[in-house]
Amino acid sequence: MKKVLGPIAVIVIILAVLAMILVPSYNKFVNLEEDVDQAYAQVENQLQRRLDLIPNLVSTVKGFASHEKEIISDIADSRARLAGANGPAEQADANADLAGALSRLLVVVENYPDLKANENFTKLMDELAGTENRLGVARKDYNDVVANYNRQVKRFPGKIVASIFGYDEKEYFKADAAANEVPNVDFGDDKE
């Protein structure tokens, strides 16, 4: 009987040690994944806030610059693409398109002094600027949480636990390559 209890006790001790290693590591992955999901929800929240502001901004501009239909159409298309984007990579691409369309709108605004002086337009631009700042902070916070999560997935013993329970690296919210280019602003002042 003692010969049978010895190996069983060794197996129980090994299982207990494995459980003491795996359970905390698994729980850490659960917590980290929730942190990533929560941070991503904040990015989506700010993207939605921006999407909600844009129609009001476009409507205000339409009243002053009705012949600038192409830019307004580009903004609407970019906004729709961002609203339908799934995942950080697709949203980052759509976000870059929308940012480009909005920058072209700002160039148009420079040509309409009455529009710049309009109180509704000024409030909407302030709201949009605040949203852009919040969005930048939310993206940074998301990428910080993803970095922490990805480090845990790559490090030992987390790598083993991650592979056992199917935890994979998360995508960063990356800026489009065009975000590094300096925008070309032309106020049409050239008189030759």
Q: Give the mean model confidence (pLDDT) for residues 76-81.
A: 85
- Alpha-carbon span 17 to 30, nearest angstrom: 20
Quick one: three-class SS letters along 99-156?
A: HHHHHHHHHHHHCCHHHHHCHHHHHHHHHHHHHHHHHHHHHHHHHHHHHHHHHHHHCC
- Alpha-carbon span 83 to 54, nearest angstrom: 12
Which pLDDT value is given to residue 56? Answer: 79
Higher-pLDDT residue of 2, 37: 37
Higher-pLDDT residue of 170, 183: 170
Question: Where residue 67 falls among pLDDT bands split at 50, 70, 90?
Answer: low
pLDDT, tens digit (0-9, with 9 covering 90-100), for 85-123: 888 888 888 888 888 888 887 777 777 666 666 677 778
DSSP state of 145: H
Which pLDDT value is given to residue 64? Answer: 66
Question: CB burial class (10 A; 0-12, 13-18, 19+) of residue 53?
Answer: middle
pLDDT, tens digit (0-9, with 9 covering 90-100), for 19-62: 888 888 888 989 999 999 999 999 888 888 888 888 877 777 77
Cβ contacts of 143 within 8 Å, gap of 6 or more: 172, 173
The domains located in the chain, with CATH, are 2-174 (1.20.1440.20)
- Alpha-carbon span 121 to 60, nearest angstrom: 6
Instruction: State how far the alpha carbon of 72 is from the alpha carbons of 56, 95, 137, 138, 164, in Å.
Output: 12, 16, 27, 27, 50
Which pLDDT value is given to residue 189? Answer: 46
Instruction: Using the structure block, give the residue that is written with the tokens 């065009």.
Output: 178
State in Å, rounded, how far the first CA of the chain is from the last one: 105
Which pLDDT value is given to residue 65? Answer: 63
Higher-pLDDT residue of 35, 73: 35
Helices and strands per DSSP (H, E), number in the chain? 6, 0
pLDDT, tens digit (0-9, with 9 covering 90-100), for 124-179: 788 888 888 888 899 999 999 999 999 999 998 889 889 989 999 998 887 665 54
In the predicted structure, residue 183 carries a pLDDT above the cut 60: no
Helix axes 2-64, 119-154, angle to 10 degrees: 160
